[in-house]
Amino acid sequence: MKKTIQIPLGSQHISLLEPIRFKFECENEKIIGVDADVGFVHRGVELACTRSFEFKQVGYVVARVCGLCAITHSLSYTLAVEKLLGYVANDRIKYLRMLMVELDRIHSHMLCLAHTAENAGFEALFMQIMGDRELVMEVQEAISGNRVQFDYISIGGVNRDLTSELVDLVRKNLTTLSEKMEILTGLFDNNWSLSLKYKGVGVLTLEDAYTYNALGPLARASGLATDVRAETSDFPYEALGYTMMLESTGDIHARNFVRLREIVNSIAICRNIVDNLPMGEIQEKVKGKPKGEEIVRIEAPRGELFYLVRGNGTNTLERVRIKTPTFSGIPAMMEVFKGSQYADAPAILASFDPCMSCTAK
């Protein structure tokens, strides 16, 4: 007789934000094998970019790949095209783009923390974090003019300038947020019932992280020092107070802590940006048509986002390839599930912060 049972999780499940299906091979309560299916929200974005839209419009198309990291997608694409056109943005544009990406990282990490808390059974904490997240959303809405689809970055610059009132709003809201972050960090560190759900659960060892090519907060929680912000020189992150956050245990608690500390770090970066904003034009004319091939890597909230853009000197691109952090992280994620309890699966899944719309595009 067969000794194991198969339990599916998804594609529709109460703990999932987006459709993904896991097939768990369980021995009693213990998971011994995992099979994942991610392609439920395929929309054919890559093909649309090369068929229906001109290269100047594609920036707005790829922004719609994902609702949470919209700005990272449009930034990666814009950078790739700007490299093909031989254009280098001035410091003001770079700083404004960085500001939006870091604000995006803060609110995305907060969503993940809230969701992890909810999946571990703490609805009140979920509400509290989502309430605090509004502070960042307000800033983003005021800067870009929309809450979710920012449409802030275009080829040759950014679409709106940062006025002095906006700078005041950024300072005010980030100060309030950093006070709240202290309370949250204390809560995640000291709360006894949270530690039962988080500490020692869903461990990814450093060796596994290296073997299965983990990335983003997942890798940094295991102690693997990988961050595109430190590896590339497209943006002056080092000068603006970026530090890599590493933990060593590799469990859910460590992942939460990497995110909490990255939020604090991002708040510091945002403050440095608005304090030291250089003068300059925010939108410059870029002429020419993309010819050749270019790759760009950007650190999205979930890890490395990879873009390949190939043009043939016409208005329509030949190829746009998007490799999202969740897609690259699937092998490592599957490894974490093995050996853990089935009841912990939703919390572990939430701690990866998977983004299915990105992955299936």
Partner 1 sequence: MFKSMVEAFKNLFKPVRTINYPAQEIILPSGYRGLIEYDKEACIFCDKCEKVCPPGAILFYQHEEGEKEYRYNPWLCIYCGECVRACPKPQEAIWQSETKQQSAVKEDGANEGWFVWEEACKKSREAYAAAKKERKPKMKSEEPLCVS
Residues found near partner 1 in the complex (CB under 8 A)? 53, 56-57, 60-61, 131, 134, 138, 141-142, 144-146, 149, 151, 154, 159-160, 283
Q: 181 vs 240, which CB is nearer to partner 1? A: 181
C-alpha 21 chain-centroid distance? 21
Min dist CB 335 to partner 1, Å, is: 38
**Total Cβ atoms within 10 A of residue 1:** 2
Min dist CB 237 to partner 1, Å, is: 28
Q: Which residues pair with 293 in a beta bridge?
A: 310
Q: 145 vs 278, which CB is nearer to partner 1? A: 145
Q: 49 vs 240, which CB is nearer to partner 1? A: 49
Min dist CB 158 to partner 1, Å, is: 11
DSSP reduced 3-state for 311: strand
Checking 282-286 for CB contacts under 8 A at 24+ apart, the result is: 282/92, 282/93, 282/96, 282/157, 282/158, 282/160, 282/161, 283/154, 283/156, 283/157, 283/158, 283/159, 284/87, 284/89, 284/90, 284/93, 284/156, 284/157, 285/156, 286/82, 286/85, 286/87, 286/155, 286/156
Min dist CB 59 to partner 1, Å, is: 8
Query: What is the DSSP pairing of strand 303-312 with strand 21-27?
Result: unpaired
Cα distance between residue 68 and residue 296, in whole Å? 20
- Which residue has tokens 């307000």? 138
Q: 170 vs 348, which CB is nearer to partner 1? A: 170
Min dist CB 301 to partner 1, Å, is: 23
Min dist CB 131 to partner 1, Å, is: 5
Q: 13 vs 171, which CB is nearer to partner 1? A: 171
Q: 53 vs 307, which CB is nearer to partner 1? A: 53
Min dist CB 295 to partner 1, Å, is: 24
